[in-house]
Structure formats: C-alpha cells, structure tokens
A and B are shown apart, each in its own frame.
Chain A
C-alpha cells in the first residue's frame, strides 16, 4: 500500500464498490432516521437532526485522528503516501466539522433558543475547524511539497490536544449541550429504533470518508508523481 502506483490502482478498483455500499447504507440510515424512528417525547420531530449531527461530529474527530496518525508516520518514517493521505483527509474532515457545527446550530435554535453559544463544546469544535483549515492553508503556502508535508504533520500532531477537550468538554464544563447519549460501555439512553439509525449513518459516513479520500488521493498522486514513469505510462495508455 506504500507504493503510489499500487495505491492508485487499488483505490481505482474499490471506488465503484465503495460508492454503491455507501449509497445503500445512506438510504437505509435516512429511512430509519426520518421514517422509522419515533418522535422524541421532549423534542418532537426536531431531534431528527441527530441522525446527521452526531455521525458528522464523530467523523470530524475520527478524521482528525487519522490525519494526526499520518502525521506521526510522516515524521518518523518519511513516508510519502502518509503525506498524501494526510492532506487528502483534511478537506473531508473540514466538511464534516462544518456540518457538525451547522446542523448543531440548526438544532440549537428551536431547542435552546439560540444558534450559537460560546461554551466549551461548541468553541472546541470550532477550533477543530480552524485546525483543518490551518493544515490546508499551510500545505498550500509551501511550494516544496515534501517540506509542506512535514510542516502540516507537526501542526496536525500538535492540534491533537483539542480532541480529548472536545470529547470531555460536556463533562468538564457546564454547557447547554447535552452529554453523550451513546457510549461504548454503557446502555444507550434511547431505544434501538433511535440509536440503530445513528450507527448506520455513522457507518455510511465512514465509508464515504474512505471513498472521498481515495478520490482525492488519486488526483493528488497524479500531480505529485507527474515526473515518474508509472504516471506517464498510465496517462498515455
């Protein structure tokens, strides 16, 4: 997987399958969340935003961890593929962070009476968005892409301190934001008809991340490896 031509072909083969699997999970998840799940006894129908909000928020942190792990690989082993995966993850992560923030505020307006509060959860998630944008900006600003790769690796690793802050913010500080309704170790505070669609949507988003990443990695590989033989052969065949 470390070799660019191999990864390029591998990703190309898997893309149509991933897209199909994603579409199936998305449709099942949307149907489960919008149609099958009962209304909430307190929030009525408005809580249905949860089926996009929570999976998007999970992805915003998950993708950051993927990015930071690539950063460690870049610094320790100088692996070019890790640089490319790192920088290709950033726009997808930024998108999910943006979605978590916006769907959260669209949920906050009817339930809290405001689109935004400067509390720990919302602020740390906003900082996460800035970290993603910082990675993209820094990478774009440095012409030598090997140097750029190492610079964003350091930024991504340093920014990792923000992840536990986001996760525990609702326990550490007072917040309008509710605490986690789904955790790995405790019984969920909602019935299966509510949490199963959340998990299906989360799975759909994970598959989406892989396919969006593959798409970006392929485009980036062509550009970065434009002077190598395999790209020349590929383009001319």
Chain B
C-alpha cells in the first residue's frame, strides 16, 4: 500500500480523517485546558496569599 493510497482511504478520506482529527483535537484540548487552569489557580492563589499577608501586617 502506498502512502497516497493510505491517505485516500478508499475514497472516504474526508470522513475517516476528519473523525480521527477531531478525536485527537478534542482529547488534546481536554488535556491542555485543565493543565492551564491548574497553573493559573496556583498563580492566583500565590498573589492572593501575598496580599492577605500584607493586609494583616499593616493592620497589626
């Protein structure tokens, strides 16, 4: 089987490859988004704790 035959998928290339592409895309997004969310939460909390400490220091 040649590469172009493989890519052609017996004439069903559009249906087969869009199925696989979409699947991989959705899996990738679902992996990446919570990863970013986690990083962002860490950063946000770090900032928040720092501000809280400053406020406590100045009030006491």
Interface positions of A (Cβ within 8 A of B): 19, 30, 34-35, 39, 44-46, 48-49, 52-53, 56, 91-92, 95, 98-99, 102-103, 106-107, 109-110, 208, 211-212, 215-216, 218-219, 222-223, 226, 231-232, 235-236
Q: Which of B10, B15, B16, B23 contacts A99 (CB 8 A)?
A: B23
- Contact partners of B34 in chain A: CB under 8 A: 212, 215-216, 218-219
Report the count of interface residues on B (CB-CB < 8 A). 26
Once the chains bind, are A236 and B38 in contact (CB under 8 Å)? no
- Of A30, A52, A216, A235, which one neighbours B45 at CB under 8 angstroms? A235
Of B9, B12, B20, B31, most buried by chain A (CB within 10 Å of CB) is B12
Contact of A98 among B15, B26, B35, B46 (CB under 8 A): B26
Residues of chain B with a CB closer than 8 A to A103's CB: 19, 22-23
Contact of A39 (CB < 8 Å), options: B10, B19, B31: B10
Out of A46, A216, A236, which one reaches B15, CB within 8 Å?
A: A46
Closest to A217 in B: B34
> Taking A215-B38, A223-B41, A235-B49 as contacts, is the C-beta distance between A46 and B20 under 8 angstroms?
no
Q: Check A102–B41 contact: CB distance below 8 A.
A: no
Measured between alpha carbons, how far is A91 from B10 in the docked complex, in Å? 35
Q: Which A residues are in CB contact (< 8 Å) with B22?
A: 99, 102-103
Interchain CB contact under 8 A, A48 and B38:
no
